[in-house]
Protein backbone atom coordinates (compact mmCIF):
# COMPACT_ATOMS: atom_id res chain seq x y z
CA UNK A 1 0.00 0.00 0.00
CA UNK A 2 2.82 2.46 0.89
CA UNK A 3 4.32 2.16 -2.57
CA UNK A 4 0.94 2.69 -4.28
CA UNK A 5 0.42 5.82 -2.17
CA UNK A 6 3.89 7.20 -2.91
CA UNK A 7 3.24 6.82 -6.63
CA UNK A 8 -0.17 8.46 -6.36
CA UNK A 9 1.08 11.39 -4.25
CA UNK A 10 4.00 12.01 -6.59
CA UNK A 11 1.53 12.19 -9.47
CA UNK A 12 -0.88 14.55 -7.68
CA UNK A 13 -0.11 18.24 -8.35
CA UNK A 14 -1.92 19.33 -5.17
CA UNK A 15 0.29 17.20 -2.95
CA UNK A 16 3.93 17.77 -2.06
CA UNK A 17 5.48 14.52 -0.91
CA UNK A 18 8.25 15.86 1.32
CA UNK A 19 10.03 12.66 2.24
CA UNK A 20 9.60 8.92 2.73
CA UNK A 21 11.03 6.85 5.56
CA UNK A 22 12.12 3.26 5.02
CA UNK A 23 14.35 1.00 7.04
CA UNK A 24 15.90 -0.10 3.73
CA UNK A 25 15.89 2.97 1.44
CA UNK A 26 16.80 0.87 -1.62
CA UNK A 27 13.26 -0.56 -1.53
CA UNK A 28 11.93 2.85 -2.56
CA UNK A 29 14.71 3.84 -4.94
CA UNK A 30 12.63 2.99 -8.01
CA UNK A 31 9.96 5.47 -6.83
CA UNK A 32 11.81 8.44 -5.35
CA UNK A 33 15.09 10.36 -5.62
CA UNK A 34 17.49 9.23 -2.91
CA UNK A 35 17.46 12.67 -1.20
CA UNK A 36 13.73 12.19 -0.62
CA UNK A 37 14.27 8.95 1.30
CA UNK A 38 15.53 8.64 4.88
CA UNK A 39 16.22 5.60 7.04
CA UNK A 40 16.49 7.67 10.24
CA UNK A 41 13.36 8.63 12.17
CA UNK A 42 15.17 11.49 13.92
CA UNK A 43 15.99 12.95 10.51
CA UNK A 44 12.35 13.25 9.41
CA UNK A 45 11.61 16.51 7.59
CA UNK A 46 8.90 18.98 8.63
CA UNK A 47 5.47 18.15 7.16
CA UNK A 48 1.75 18.85 7.58
CA UNK A 49 0.97 15.12 7.80
CA UNK A 50 2.99 12.03 8.68
CA UNK A 51 1.55 8.83 7.17
CA UNK A 52 2.32 5.47 8.75
CA UNK A 53 1.60 2.81 6.11
CA UNK A 54 2.92 -0.45 7.54
CA UNK A 55 1.48 -3.81 8.64
CA UNK A 56 -1.22 -3.55 11.32
CA UNK A 57 1.03 -4.93 14.09
CA UNK A 58 3.77 -2.36 13.46
CA UNK A 59 1.60 0.79 13.63
CA UNK A 60 1.65 1.33 17.41
CA UNK A 61 5.41 0.80 17.64
CA UNK A 62 6.35 3.20 14.86
CA UNK A 63 4.00 5.87 16.17
CA UNK A 64 5.70 5.68 19.60
CA UNK A 65 9.17 5.99 18.09
CA UNK A 66 8.40 9.26 16.33
CA UNK A 67 10.76 11.91 17.82
CA UNK A 68 8.17 14.74 17.84
CA UNK A 69 4.83 15.69 19.40
CA UNK A 70 1.68 17.64 18.46
CA UNK A 71 1.96 16.87 14.76
CA UNK A 72 -0.72 15.16 12.64
CA UNK A 73 0.13 11.45 12.44
CA UNK A 74 -2.15 9.02 10.59
CA UNK A 75 -2.26 5.35 9.62
CA UNK A 76 -3.83 3.69 6.56
CA UNK A 77 -5.30 0.52 8.04
CA UNK A 78 -8.90 -0.67 7.88
CA UNK A 79 -8.79 -2.71 11.04
CA UNK A 80 -6.69 -0.68 13.49
CA UNK A 81 -8.36 1.90 15.73
CA UNK A 82 -7.26 5.52 15.75
CA UNK A 83 -6.36 5.12 19.44
CA UNK A 84 -3.61 2.61 18.66
CA UNK A 85 -1.54 5.54 17.46
CA UNK A 86 0.55 7.09 20.24
CA UNK A 87 -1.28 9.99 21.88
CA UNK A 88 1.69 12.36 21.88
CA UNK A 89 0.65 13.44 18.36
CA UNK A 90 -2.71 14.41 16.83
CA UNK A 91 -4.13 11.23 15.41
CA UNK A 92 -5.98 10.33 12.24
CA UNK A 93 -6.84 7.51 9.85
CA UNK A 94 -6.59 7.58 6.07
CA UNK A 95 -7.94 4.26 4.82
CA UNK A 96 -8.42 3.53 1.10
CA UNK A 97 -10.98 0.72 0.91
CA UNK A 98 -9.80 -1.57 -1.85
CA UNK A 99 -8.13 -4.91 -2.43
CA UNK A 100 -4.48 -4.27 -3.32
CA UNK A 101 -2.15 -6.51 -5.28
CA UNK A 102 1.51 -5.59 -5.39
CA UNK A 103 1.84 -6.13 -9.13
CA UNK A 104 -1.35 -4.45 -10.23
CA UNK A 105 -1.52 -0.71 -10.86
CA UNK A 106 -4.08 1.06 -8.71
CA UNK A 107 -6.31 3.85 -9.97
CA UNK A 108 -7.12 5.67 -6.74
CA UNK A 109 -9.58 7.92 -8.55
CA UNK A 110 -12.63 5.75 -7.75
CA UNK A 111 -11.39 4.22 -4.50
CA UNK A 112 -13.30 5.36 -1.39
CA UNK A 113 -11.10 6.99 1.27
CA UNK A 114 -12.37 6.55 4.82
CA UNK A 115 -11.12 9.38 7.02
CA UNK A 116 -11.10 9.93 10.76
CA UNK A 117 -9.36 12.53 12.91
CA UNK A 118 -9.38 13.54 16.55
CA UNK A 119 -9.50 17.25 15.76
CA UNK A 120 -11.86 18.91 13.30
CA UNK A 121 -9.11 21.08 11.78
CA UNK A 122 -7.12 17.94 10.96
CA UNK A 123 -10.09 16.47 9.10
CA UNK A 124 -9.88 19.32 6.59
CA UNK A 125 -6.24 18.48 5.92
CA UNK A 126 -6.98 14.78 5.33
CA UNK A 127 -9.95 15.69 3.18
CA UNK A 128 -7.71 17.83 0.97
CA UNK A 129 -5.18 15.03 0.76
CA UNK A 130 -7.77 12.34 -0.10
CA UNK A 131 -9.53 14.58 -2.60
CA UNK A 132 -6.23 15.02 -4.43
CA UNK A 133 -6.30 11.28 -5.14
CA UNK A 134 -9.96 10.29 -5.24
CA UNK A 135 -13.44 11.61 -5.93
CA UNK A 136 -14.86 9.47 -3.15
CA UNK A 137 -14.16 10.56 0.45
CA UNK A 138 -16.06 9.48 3.58
CA UNK A 139 -15.97 10.42 7.25
CA UNK A 140 -15.86 7.04 9.04
CA UNK A 141 -15.10 6.61 12.73
CA UNK A 142 -13.14 3.70 14.22
CA UNK A 143 -16.24 1.67 15.16
CA UNK A 144 -17.72 2.11 11.69
CA UNK A 145 -14.41 1.24 10.08
CA UNK A 146 -14.32 -2.00 12.07
CA UNK A 147 -17.79 -2.96 10.82
CA UNK A 148 -16.84 -1.89 7.29
CA UNK A 149 -13.90 -4.26 7.45
CA UNK A 150 -16.21 -7.15 8.37
CA UNK A 151 -18.61 -6.19 5.57
CA UNK A 152 -15.64 -6.12 3.17
CA UNK A 153 -14.76 -9.69 4.18
CA UNK A 154 -18.26 -10.77 3.14
CA UNK A 155 -18.46 -8.89 -0.17
CA UNK A 156 -14.85 -9.46 -1.24
CA UNK A 157 -13.05 -12.37 0.51
CA UNK A 158 -16.11 -14.60 0.78
CA UNK A 159 -17.29 -13.66 -2.69
CA UNK A 160 -13.91 -14.60 -4.10
CA UNK A 161 -14.22 -17.93 -2.31
CA UNK A 162 -17.57 -18.51 -4.07
CA UNK A 163 -15.61 -18.06 -7.31
CA UNK A 164 -13.13 -20.68 -6.06
CA UNK A 165 -15.90 -23.18 -5.28
CA UNK A 166 -17.49 -22.54 -8.68
CA UNK A 167 -14.16 -23.07 -10.42
CA UNK A 168 -13.63 -26.34 -8.52
CA UNK A 169 -17.00 -27.62 -9.76
CA UNK A 170 -16.03 -26.62 -13.31
CA UNK A 171 -12.65 -28.36 -13.06
CA UNK A 172 -14.22 -31.55 -11.75
CA UNK A 173 -16.61 -31.63 -14.69
CA UNK A 174 -14.22 -30.60 -17.48
CA UNK A 175 -15.86 -27.25 -18.04
CA UNK A 176 -13.71 -24.17 -18.66
CA UNK A 177 -14.21 -21.69 -15.79
CA UNK A 178 -14.21 -18.95 -18.46
CA UNK A 179 -17.86 -19.80 -19.19
CA UNK A 180 -18.80 -18.35 -15.80
CA UNK A 181 -16.83 -15.10 -16.06
CA UNK A 182 -19.44 -13.00 -17.88
CA UNK A 183 -22.03 -14.11 -15.29
CA UNK A 184 -19.66 -13.10 -12.48
CA UNK A 185 -19.11 -9.65 -14.00
CA UNK A 186 -22.84 -9.12 -14.58
CA UNK A 187 -23.67 -10.18 -11.01
CA UNK A 188 -21.25 -7.55 -9.72
CA UNK A 189 -22.51 -4.87 -12.13
CA UNK A 190 -26.15 -5.44 -11.21
CA UNK A 191 -25.74 -3.98 -7.72
CA UNK A 192 -24.74 -0.64 -9.22
CA UNK A 193 -28.39 -0.23 -10.17
CA UNK A 194 -30.32 -2.62 -7.87
CA UNK A 195 -29.88 -3.20 -4.16
CA UNK A 196 -28.60 -6.76 -3.63
CA UNK A 197 -31.81 -7.96 -1.99
CA UNK A 198 -33.77 -6.94 -5.11
CA UNK A 199 -31.08 -8.38 -7.36
CA UNK A 200 -31.27 -11.87 -5.80
CA UNK A 201 -32.14 -14.61 -8.29
CA UNK A 202 -31.85 -18.40 -8.30
CA UNK A 203 -33.57 -21.47 -6.85
CA UNK A 204 -33.21 -20.41 -3.18
CA UNK A 205 -35.14 -17.14 -3.48
CA UNK A 206 -37.74 -18.79 -5.74
CA UNK A 207 -37.92 -21.65 -3.21
CA UNK A 208 -37.62 -24.02 -6.16
CA UNK A 209 -37.49 -27.15 -4.01
CA UNK A 210 -36.92 -29.55 -6.92
CA UNK A 211 -33.84 -27.73 -8.18
CA UNK A 212 -32.46 -27.22 -4.66
CA UNK A 213 -32.73 -30.96 -3.98
CA UNK A 214 -31.22 -31.84 -7.35
CA UNK A 215 -28.25 -29.56 -6.63
CA UNK A 216 -27.74 -31.06 -3.17
CA UNK A 217 -27.87 -34.56 -4.66
CA UNK A 218 -25.33 -33.48 -7.26
CA UNK A 219 -22.85 -32.11 -4.72
CA UNK A 220 -20.69 -34.96 -3.38
CA UNK A 221 -18.33 -32.83 -1.31
CA UNK A 222 -19.67 -32.43 2.25
CA UNK A 223 -18.20 -28.94 2.63
CA UNK A 224 -19.93 -27.65 -0.51
CA UNK A 225 -23.18 -29.35 0.54
CA UNK A 226 -23.07 -27.63 3.95
CA UNK A 227 -22.35 -24.24 2.37
CA UNK A 228 -25.12 -24.76 -0.19
CA UNK A 229 -27.65 -25.57 2.55
CA UNK A 230 -26.60 -22.74 4.86
CA UNK A 231 -26.56 -20.03 2.18
CA UNK A 232 -29.87 -21.22 0.71
CA UNK A 233 -31.40 -20.89 4.16
CA UNK A 234 -29.81 -17.49 4.66
CA UNK A 235 -31.10 -16.21 1.30
CA UNK A 236 -34.62 -17.32 2.19
CA UNK A 237 -34.36 -15.73 5.62
CA UNK A 238 -33.18 -12.39 4.17
CA UNK A 239 -36.00 -12.53 1.65
CA UNK A 240 -38.63 -13.11 4.33
CA UNK A 241 -37.36 -10.14 6.31
CA UNK A 242 -37.76 -8.04 3.17
CA UNK A 243 -41.46 -8.93 2.81
Q: Which of residues 41-60 bind a second copy (CB under 8 A)?
A: 56
Compare residues 88 and 225 and give the one whose CB is closer to a second copy. 225
Q: Count Cα neighbours of 123 within 13 Å in the Cβ-side half-sphere.
A: 12
61 binds a second copy (CB under 8 A): no
Q: Report yes or no: 49 and 15 within 8 Å, Cβ to Cβ.
A: no
CA 103/CA 101 separation, integer angstroms: 6
- Decide if residue 130 touches a second copy (CB under 8 A): no
Rounded distance between C-alpha atoms, residue 234 and residue 237, angstroms = 5
Can residue 149 be called a binding residue for a second copy (CB under 8 A)? yes
Q: Is 123 in the site for a second copy (CB under 8 A)?
A: no
Nearer residue to a second copy within complex by CB, 119 or 214: 214
Residue 179 found at the interface with a second copy (CB under 8 A)? yes
Segment near a second copy (CB under 8 A); pick from 10-18, 29-37, 123-131, 175-183 = 175-183
CA distances from 31 to 6, 20, 149, 187 (A): 7, 10, 29, 37
Indicate the residue among 68 and 163 with the shorter CB distance to a second copy.
Answer: 163
The yes or no reply on residue 173 touching a second copy (CB under 8 A) is: yes
* Alpha-carbon radius of gyration of the chain: 23
158, 207, 213, 243: which one binds a second copy (CB under 8 A): 158
Check binding of 148 to a second copy (CB under 8 A).
Answer: yes
Q: Could you tell me where the beta strands, DSSP code E, fall in the chain?
A: 20-21, 37-38, 50-52, 72-75, 90-96, 113-117, 137-139
Write phi, then psi, for 93 (nearest 5 degrees): -130, 140
Smallest gap from residue 43 Cβ to a second copy (A):
33
Residues 63-102 that bind a second copy (CB under 8 A): 79, 97-99, 101
Distance, CA of 98 to CA of 148 (rounded, Å): 12
Judged by CB under 8 A, the chain residues 189 through 208 that form the site for a second copy are: 189-197, 199-205
Amino acid sequence: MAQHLIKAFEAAPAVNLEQAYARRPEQLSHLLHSEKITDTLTALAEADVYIISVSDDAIAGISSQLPFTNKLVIHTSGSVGLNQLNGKNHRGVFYPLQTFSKNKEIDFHTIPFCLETEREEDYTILETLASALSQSVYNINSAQRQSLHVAAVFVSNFTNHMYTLGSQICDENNIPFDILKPLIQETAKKINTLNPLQAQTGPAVRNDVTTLQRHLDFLQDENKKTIYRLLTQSIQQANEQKL
